[in-house]
Structure formats: structure tokens, C-alpha cells
Chain A
Amino acid sequence: MEENISSAKAGTISPRDAAWREQLRQEKNAKERTAIPRATMPQLDPAYRITTMLAEVNQGLSEEQAVLEASRCLDCPDPGCVTGCPVGINIPGFIKNIERGDFRQAAMTLKETSALPAVCGRVCPQEKQCESKCIYNRMKKPPVAIGWLERFAADSERMSGESASPAQLASNGRKIAVVGSGPAGLSFAGEMSRRGYEITVFEALHEIGGVLKYGIPEFRLPNSVVENEIDSLRAAGVKFEADVIVGKTYSFDDLMSMGFEEMFVASGAGLPRFMGIPGENLIGVLSSNEYLTRINLMGAGREGYATPVLHGRRVAVIGGGNTAMDSVRTALRMGAEEASIIYRRSEAEMPARVEEVHHAKEEGVKFLTLHNPVEYLADENGRVRAMRLQRMELGEPDASGRRSPVPVEGAIEEVPVDLVIVSVGVSPNPLVPSAIEGLEVTRRGTIAVDDDTLQSSIPVLYAGGDIVRGGATVILAMGDGRRAAAAMDDMLSGRKN
């Protein structure tokens, strides 16, 4: 009688051999479909949007746009896009639902595999994942806008006010603790709650959402979207406790004695990395985590909020990732006259999403690629007044496969700057690993887990997201939550029998 949700494969909701999909394929031929140009995302005017912290840049596809874009999809028999998705979403399945106008079923299809489609549709690097595997690339045409369609489906579900949540099993009374309410924790909580477990998510900060709240700015991911996802988890019975640091407020043993059978640690990335160059501790040099947390989580710069923030006139952001783009675009919105990205490789190697780089350029961000800071210089008050930049050139490929930057001898210039935001990555947060005796960590300080099950050296403790990966993406973190849930459920069900 027991339905086993964990074994449900993507594609069971909207299978390719469904009659309606067969019929859709007949309606238009490939020539007609490929003749349709890729949709353009309606977006706020750059000149306007840099004046507002909260307005989302991408406005979302209209219904007509979405249906037309969905009809570009050829519904391939062996879809490459799905192989490009870290969680294996049934991409043609949800897209074809959009084409036939069943947006609710499209959302349902997404939710079969992704706990947070409205988030992923906004923050996933689609151009490196699903869209990079789209058949259109081989025809030298722009791929189907899978990310925008994902966002469209998730947003129409949210706007409709009717949740398209997959079926939920009745409570089995078994308590599981989740540490951290970021993408990995939320995805795990959703998956386990569906399977009937009683989930409590403990969050160290005073707000639920982790990096989705403190890190990603509202102009890219509105808090209301995140809140909606959290609310639907709440409605499904997931409990959230803010201001709790597992390992400190409650020890691992405390949780066990509170009746939690198992726990999933998704405490996220932590300590910001600095480069170790002279002047890095001057006033006005700070991490992107600090800058973004002050503004996104604490409301710094907004009327009535107590947290202060430094306003730079000439702002330099060091790094080429999404966090660097978020920081530099935030700086513009906070009133910077000049905001630059300083990146030691060339634009081709930048890890940021292409769309973020594109948006940043539209907004007037300067890109100083092939430059690397070597020193920050202070004014008489100990505040940063300039940086010394080393020009770089690309040499041989390094371990990451990217061509490694090499200094051009003697090519150092001094550039005036009054706010420097260092965004060169993070190290795992030591707080949880160091507080749990016997927990095996890697040399990098991440929690060591089994590659398949995400189980740690302590059998009742699973872990995923950046505390295991050391600094990755929202979608990979979510995928971890999903895999850990499936593995833990398998294990617990087996034990029960």
C-alpha cells in the first residue's frame, strides 16, 4: 500500500508518450518551430533600474511569449537538455505543458524534481547546463529559453494562488532535523516532508532562506519569491526555527535527545576568502558576504534600518563570479559613481552567469579583466584610497582547465578607489563540523560524505550543499538535498521493515 515517492522518476507526470504530447508534435513541424526567433526577456530600463534596490531586472515572459517560446522546443526523443540539468528535470515535459497552456501542470512537472523552480529559473547558469545541451545549438541557433520558461511556469503557479504541490504522504511521526535553511536545506525539507517525515529546519540567522536571502539581491531574486517557497513548506508542515546554531545552541546530542532520528547538515559556505595582500584589512576593504549581508539581510541603506553600510563613490569588486556581479550591481544601486569588476582572467573564463555579466554591462559596470590587485593603499585615516593592479595575461591551462593568468612583468598601475569588495570565494564554515565530535572532514574543511548517499562518517548525519562542495550553485545544493532525502528515506524505510 505504501507509495514509494523516492523511486518516482522524473517524467512520470508528463511522459513523452502521452497522447497530448504526441498531438502537439504533430501540430507543427520542425521547420516551423525552428523558424521562431528566441524570446527576448522584458526587462527594466538600465538607467531606471540602477536607481532601485528592490525592483527585479527581468520582468518575466508574458503568457504569449512563453507559449510561443515553448513551441520552439522540438520535444526531442532523446533530450540533451535533461542531461545538462544537475537534477534531471523533465524539461520537455514542462515546456510542452506550457505550449498547450496547462501552466499548472508545467509547474507540477517541475516540482517533481525541483523544490524551488521559481528560484532556479532565476539563478541557475542555464547557459552552462540545460540550454548548452539544446539541439538548437547544433543548428547554430539560440537554444530554447529553458530558464525563462521555468520561471514563467513557477511564477504563474505562484500568481494563481493555487499551489501545484505534489502529493504528500501522511505523517509517519519520525522527526528529522535540518541544519540551515538555504537551498539545500529547503529542498531536503520539501522532499522529506512529502514522504511523511516531521521536519524541523534550524537556521543560525534571524531570517529563513540562507543565501537566497542574505546573498542574492532582490533585483535578481525578490524576497517575496523566496518567502512563497518557504510558506508552501510551512503549509506542508515543515517547522522553522531561526536563531539556532546547531553545535552551539543545541548540541548534536541535544537534538538526538529531543527525538530527532537523523539530521541533514546544509550549513553552507562560510568564511570569506581574502587574498592575503597588503592593505586588505584597511577600512573600506570588505568581503562580498559582508557587503551583501548588510544590505540584503539587514536592510542597510534603507530608511529606518539600523545597520550601517559604507557608500563608495569608486567601487572595485574583486572576482568574476555571480557574487561579484551581485556586489558590483548592488554598489551601483547604492549610489556608486563608478563600479568596476577586477578579474584576473579574461571574460571568457568568468564563472558568473552570462546574463548577469550582460546586465552588469548594460548598467554601466566597468570590466577590468586580466587585472589582479596586489596592494591597497590607505589615506591618512586608514581608509582605502587606491589599489595597485597587476596586469595579467593568459598562460597554460591550469587544473580547472581554464588558461591560468600570469603577471605581465612590470605592468602595475595605481587606480583610485574608495570601496573594495573582495569576492574571491569562501571556505566552508567551521562552526558545525568543529562542534560535532567524530565527524570526518576533508582537508579543505568540508564535511566528508558518501558520493551517492551523502551520508557522513556519523551514520545518522547526512550533509549537502556548500558545506560539502565548498562553494557551488543553488541548483547543485538543491540536488544534494533531494539526493540526501531519497537516500535517508531508503535507509529509514529499510530499517523499519
Chain B
Amino acid sequence: MNKILDKQHFSEKVVKLVVEAPAIARSRKPGHFVIVIDNARGERIPLTIADADPVKGTITLVIQAVGDSTRAICAMNPGDFLHDVVGPLGRATDIANYGTVVCAGGGVGVAPLLPIIKAMKQAGNRVVSVLAARNASLIILEDQVREWSDEVIIMTDDGSAGEKGLVTQGVEKVIQREKVDHAVTIGPAIMMKFVSALTKKYGVPTICSLNTIMVDGTGMCGACRVSVGGKTRFVCVDGPEFDAHQVDFDEMMLRMRAYDKPRN
């Protein structure tokens, strides 16, 4: 049982929870995720860790209400307990001084991107972050991203914040303007697919973080399998980050519809 200590609404459907999990807070690194079960009969849901405080023993999760279980978690309040939180899972992000790194985040994907932005900056990179959402109210964690980025470009579908346009337009602008050595993209599968296609065109190595369907999250069930470079890989133990240019996003998007319940 893990106690929820703090809650913040980013938007109607997106909630930030600060959760007591001392061992995970100590051991997690950027890129790691946890499996959360809300109640005794709940399902195991993978959620990327957005932040952690090893001193306070807490981790921060950002959850978008898309299915029954995520809706239930979003409705929980400080003082409530999550039935289980297990992790940290997956492989940590490869943080290095690449030079200039573009971090492209879409929607709730900005949450798991934040610790990577921070770590990339601390590793000495010039970090240009491109945040995208349908409209201004869905842009999350902008201030925190600014704190660790040399530049932040905001893109919205309706132009209600930053520039009007898609995340790819923002990323392309940077690539055309300056030498980009490395890119990281986290967001909806369709967004990562297009960011990947774009950076591939320009030959910019790109890492994506996949949030597929999982059951155990520990390398046992194979529900999360994706084709990367023509080979079957498991997101939970081989990922969640992969060379975006090698990922078969179409197959991944198909598989994510297996249970007809969209997930974040």
C-alpha cells in the first residue's frame, strides 16, 4: 500500500500524484517506470516516473484518465492508498553529453520527458524542448521544463499557446536552424511516429519511450512486445526506450487497440 501525499490537476483529465515509495524514490533513474494497481481487484498499469524525491521518499506520477483504471486513480485524493506500486522497471535513459538535444513531448508524455530533459541538461547538453498539445490548457509542466531547457518551443493545434502547428513543425524548425545531435521523443504513438520519420529524414539519432499494454511489467507476459528493427523486443525489460527509427509504430498502434481501451 502506497499513500498518496499530494495531488494536482494539470487539466480535467490529467492529474499529478505524489506517492510515498521510498525504495523506488531512491533507486529510480530517468526513463524508469512503475506498475500501479489501484485496488485489490485492479489491473496492473505501467506509468512512467515523472520525478522523485529520495529524501522525502516520494515519486511523482502523471496520469491521464483514459480508461476505467486510470479514471479511478485520477479520482483518488491525498490520504488515499494505491494498492500496489512496484518498480522501478525498464532500462534507464542513456544520458550523455551529445551536444544539442531536442526533447519533443506531446500531451502527458511531457511528464516522463521532464527527468530526461533535466538529466540531459545536467550532462552538459544544450537542450531545446518542444512541447505540444491540442490547446494551451493541455500543456503541462511548462515551468519545470523551462527551468532545465536552453529554449522551449510550445506548439498547439489551435494556436492558443506558443505557435500554431504540430510538434514536428517545431522540431523541424530547430533542425533547420542549428545542428542537432540527438533527439528524445515521448508522447502518443502517432506523434512519436511522425517525429521519428522527421528526424530520420535529417539523420538525427532519436530515442522514443513506448508505453504499450503490459500485464506484469517484469518480462514475463510478452503483452508489450514490439518490432524494433524487425526483431521482437519487450518494452518492459528491453525498453521502454528504443531507437525510434527502428520501431514499427504502425504495428505498435494496432497492438495497443487489442483490448479496445485506449491507454496513455
Q: Is B95 an interface residue (CB 8 A)?
A: no
Closest to B41 in A: A305
Q: Which residues of the other chain, B, contact A294 by a CB distance below 8 angstroms?
A: 215, 221
Q: Is B167 an interface residue (CB 8 A)?
A: no
Per the bound structure, the CA–CA distance linking A286 and B37 in Å amounts to 22
Per the bound structure, the CA–CA distance linking A243 and B88 in Å amounts to 10
Q: Is A276 an interface residue (CB 8 A)?
A: yes
List residues of A (301-323) whose CB comes within 8 Å of B's CBs: 304-308, 310
Q: Given A281-B227, A306-B42, A310-B259, A249–B27 Cβ distance below 8 Å? A: yes
B222 in contact with A289 (CB, 8 Å)? yes
Q: Which residues of the other chain, B, contact A289 by a CB distance below 8 angstroms?
A: 220-222
Closest to A298 in B: B43
**Beta-carbon contacts of B214-227 to A below 8 Å, as 1s and 0s?**
01101111110111
**Beta-carbon contacts of A420-435 to B below 8 Å, as 1s and 0s?**
0000000001110000
A206 in contact with B37 (CB, 8 Å)? yes
A431 in contact with B218 (CB, 8 Å)? yes
Of the candidates A251, A271, A284, A287, the one having the most CB atoms from chain B within 10 angstroms of its own CB is: A271
Please tell me which one of the listed residues B41, B87, B215, B255 contacts residue A299 in the complex, with CB atoms under 8 A apart: B41
Per the bound structure, the CA–CA distance linking A305 and B69 in Å amounts to 11
**Beta-carbon contacts of A250-288 to B below 8 Å, as 1s and 0s?**
110010000000000000001110101000111110110
Please tell me which one of the listed residues B83, B86, B219, B227 contacts residue A244 in the complex, with CB atoms under 8 A apart: B86
Please tell me which one of the listed residues B24, B37, B237, B254 contacts residue A271 in the complex, with CB atoms under 8 A apart: B237
Per the bound structure, the CA–CA distance linking A281 and B222 in Å amounts to 10
B223 in contact with A290 (CB, 8 Å)? yes
Looking at chain A's contact residues, the main secondary structure is loop
Please tell me which one of the listed residues A243, A250, A282, A306 contacts residue B84 in the complex, with CB atoms under 8 A apart: A243
Total A residues in contact with B, Cβ cutoff 8 Å: 41
List residues of B (85-144) whose CB comes within 8 Å of A's CBs: 85-89
Q: Is B251 an interface residue (CB 8 A)?
A: yes
Q: Is B200 an interface residue (CB 8 A)?
A: no
Q: Which residues of the other chain, A, contact B27 by a CB distance below 8 angstroms?
A: 248-251, 254
Closest to A248 in B: B88
A245 in contact with B89 (CB, 8 Å)? yes
Closest to A280 in B: B232
B84 in contact with A206 (CB, 8 Å)? yes
A307 in contact with B220 (CB, 8 Å)? no
CB distance from A344 to the nearest CB of B (A): 20
A287 in contact with B222 (CB, 8 Å)? yes
Per the bound structure, the CA–CA distance linking A290 and B84 in Å amounts to 20
Q: Which residues of the other chain, A, contact B251 by a CB distance below 8 angstroms?
A: 281
B258 in contact with A310 (CB, 8 Å)? yes
Q: Is A204 an interface residue (CB 8 A)?
A: yes
Closest to B227 in A: A281
Q: Which residues of the other chain, A, contact B44 by a CB distance below 8 angstroms?
A: 206, 298, 307
Looking at chain B's contact residues, the main secondary structure is mixed
**Beta-carbon contacts of B225-242 to A below 8 Å, as 1s and 0s?**
111000010100100000
Per the bound structure, the CA–CA distance linking A286 and B223 in Å amounts to 7
CB distance from B63 to the nearest CB of A (A): 15
Per the bound structure, the CA–CA distance linking A293 and B86 in Å amounts to 17
List residues of A (419-469) whose CB comes within 8 Å of B's CBs: 429-431
Of the candidates A242, A289, A310, the one having the most CB atoms from chain B within 10 angstroms of its own CB is: A289
B86 in contact with A243 (CB, 8 Å)? yes
Q: Which residues of the other chain, B, contact A282 by a CB distance below 8 angstroms?
A: 254
Per the bound structure, the CA–CA distance linking A58 and B240 in Å amounts to 43
Q: Is A487 an interface residue (CB 8 A)?
A: no
Per the bound structure, the CA–CA distance linking A306 and B44 in Å amounts to 9
List residues of B (184-236) whose CB comes within 8 Å of A's CBs: 215-216, 218-223, 225-227, 232, 234
List residues of A (172-222) whose CB comes within 8 Å of B's CBs: 204-206, 214
CB distance from A250 to the nearest CB of B (A): 6
Q: Is B173 an interface residue (CB 8 A)?
A: no
A243 in contact with B221 (CB, 8 Å)? no
Q: Which residues of the other chain, B, contact A431 by a CB distance below 8 angstroms?
A: 218-219, 237
Please tell me which one of the listed residues A245, A270, A283, A429 contacts residue B255 in the complex, with CB atoms under 8 A apart: A283
Of the candidates B219, B226, B227, the one having the most CB atoms from chain A within 10 angstroms of its own CB is: B219
Q: Given A271-B220, A272-B222, A283-B255, A307–B43 Cβ distance below 8 Å? A: yes
B222 in contact with A274 (CB, 8 Å)? yes
Q: Which residues of the other chain, A, contact B69 by a CB distance below 8 angstroms?
A: 306
B215 in contact with A298 (CB, 8 Å)? yes
Q: Is A42 an interface residue (CB 8 A)?
A: no
A-B contact pairs, 12 of them (CB 8 A): A205-B218, A243-B85, A248-B88, A249-B88, A270-B218, A274-B232, A284-B258, A293-B221, A305-B43, A308-B43, A431-B218, A431-B219
Interface contacts beyond A250-B23, A281-B255, A306-B42: sample of 17 additional A-B pairs, CB < 8 Å, sorted by A: A204-B86, A204-B218, A206-B84, A249-B88, A271-B237, A274-B232, A281-B227, A283-B255, A286-B223, A287-B223, A290-B215, A290-B221, A293-B221, A304-B41, A306-B68, A307-B44, A382-B257
